[in-house]
Amino acid sequence: MLKKMKKSAVLTLVSTLLLANASVSAVPIVNKVPDKALPEQLNSQSFTLDQAIDYAIANNPDLQIAIDRVDQADAQLGIALSAFYPQISARVGYETSNNPAQVFAMIVSQRDFNSGSMANINNPGYRQNFRPEVIGKLSLFRGGQDYQNSKAAELGLDAAEYERSTVHNALIQAITATYYAYLASVEAQKVAQDSITAITSELHQTELKYKAGTVLKSDVLSLEVKLAEAQDAQIRTANGIELSKTNLANLLGLPSHQPFNIAPSASILASPKLTSSFNELLELALSQRPEIKAAANQVEISLRKLKSEQGAYLPKADAYVSYGQNSQSPGFSTSKDNVTAGITVEMDMFSGFNTQQRVRAAEQKLAEVRETERKTRLAIEQEVKTAYLKLEEGLARLHVTDVSVSAADEALRLVNEERHAEIVTVTRYIEAEVARNKAQSNTIAAHYDALSAEAALKKAIGDWK
């Protein structure tokens, strides 16, 4: 029976918050820097939690950057695969010379050689040569470098997708935490304002009684101290509301001057829970967190790049073909066309230790990313453990605050009866009322903290990738 009463009390408090937030959301926020270029519908846009998440996914700059990097990685894969296709180019050359050897070569390539060509072989005079041609090249073998680079590019595309998933996962958790922080600040402000109203009223009555000589000066001073504390709390909660909205606007990708409202969501009525053990959650995180997959992916990329650098020790083979003509005047004639085709094989005998150092650098990079993978695994284990413990703490606080609300309500009722019987001072009554308000505020704060801890745990295991 007691458990049902506690659950009913929580639901009542949360329902009160819904009404309070609805009234806050209904009040338009003044846009101090109007922008006529902004769409009219945005000037009154209101976000629930789900709407904020959907809007951020479409507009958050960090997520858009990650998506653009996926496209860049796809283009890099296309560049790597281009090495397996023939390369075709066209060019036109012109030269003139009186060098006997070059002139003789021009005469022969232009198909103009005859018996009289030998008469002036030593003094041929100037001759010109126009050569339009089309050249095709195809890499036959590059020590496996093209293959390894293409595989590294494929893995790079996967890495970019893992990065997008990482940003997506973190973005949803950040929006959820900021959303709950805003609603908690709104409730805290409501409690502070209620306290200010109650204390101000009692202070006024007590000042009248002091002037009449029925209470002591200390009662007035005590109420003034309580009022100052309540006003300080109200200032801090008002600033907390603005900070939460500023952070949320940044996550949504909205400019700072863009007005928007935050609406209550049905998710705040959900009861946070912990249904799996730490070991089960850790195993889930290690199997689906994009950071883990990205770190393993980087190890494989570095291994491919190392093999590519090692391929420089092997010979390279290329096939080529050239089709064109040689003539003394511009134009093209099939009667003077020339075709050249062949295969070249080359191998670096000594590169000034360039290849050796490139291989050494790739080996060190591989060692680095392996340590990065280990570091990432440890960080995720710590994150899951921290989130798990915070959710346990949040659920425990929920239970404690439920009890405190019941106790504070009963204490206020008893003190109120004693006050009417003039057994206790007004200061004691104010203390009981403030304690009741604080207990209610703590219950709502604990509820939101538990929801935020639940969201952090979902992020830790990669639920929102």
172-220: per-residue pLDDT in tens?
Answer: 999 999 999 999 899 888 888 888 888 888 888 888 888 888 778 887 8
Residue 431: is its pLDDT beyond 90?
A: no
What confidence score (pLDDT) does residue 426 get? 67
Buried b (16+ CB within 10 A) or exposed e, 296-314: bbbbbbbbbbbbbbbbbee
Quick one: CA torsion of 37, 41, 47, 50, rounded to 10 degrees? -100
Residues 365, 302: contact at Cβ < 8 Å? yes
For residues 441 and 435, give the distance between their C-alpha atoms in angstroms, rounded to a whole number: 10
What confidence score (pLDDT) does residue 28 get? 33
Residue 65: is its pLDDT beyond 50?
A: yes
Residue 296: is its pLDDT beyond 70?
A: yes
Residue with the larger pLDDT of the pair 323 and 264: 323
Residue 88: is its pLDDT beyond 90?
A: yes
Q: With bands split at pLDDT 50, 70 and 90, how would you rate the model's confidence at 42?
A: very low
What confidence score (pLDDT) does residue 19 get? 35
Burial of 169 (C-beta count, 10 Å sphere; 0-12/13-18/19+):
buried
Please indicate, yes or no, if residue 99 is contained in any of the structural domains.
no
Residue 249's nearest CA partner among 260, 240, 265, 263 is 260
Q: Which of 151-165, 210-224, 246-260, 343-357 is least confident?
A: 210-224
Please indicate, yes or no, if residue 201 is contained in any of the structural domains.
yes
Residue with the larger pLDDT of the pair 34 and 67: 67
For residues 382 and 390, give the distance between their C-alpha atoms in angstroms, rounded to a whole number: 12
DSSP symbols for 374-399: HHHHHHHHHHHHHHHHHHHHHHHHHH
What confidence score (pLDDT) does residue 2 get? 33
Q: Which of 45-49, 62-66, 109-113 is least confident?
A: 109-113
Please indicate, yes or no, if residue 156 is contained in any of the structural domains.
no
Q: Which of 92-106, 317-331, 420-434 is least confident?
A: 420-434
How much of the chain exceeds pLDDT 70, in percent? 89
Residue with the larger pLDDT of the pair 422 and 456: 456
Q: Which of 70-79, 114-123, 215-224 is least confident?
A: 114-123
Please indicate, yes or no, if residue 73 is contained in any of the structural domains.
yes
For the residues 428-453, what does the mean pLDDT come to? 83
Query: How many domains, the chain?
Result: 1
**CATH code of residue 45:** 1.20.1600.10
Please indicate, yes or no, if residue 349 is contained in any of the structural domains.
no
What confidence score (pLDDT) does residue 25 get? 36
Please indicate, yes or no, if residue 422 is contained in any of the structural domains.
yes
Please indicate, yes or no, if residue 449 is contained in any of the structural domains.
yes
Residue 119: is its pLDDT beyond 90?
A: no
Please indicate, yes or no, if residue 338 is contained in any of the structural domains.
no
Expressed as residue numbers, the domain containing 184 is 2-85+169-312+354-461
Residue 367: is its pLDDT beyond 90?
A: yes
What rounded mean pLDDT belongs to the chain? 85
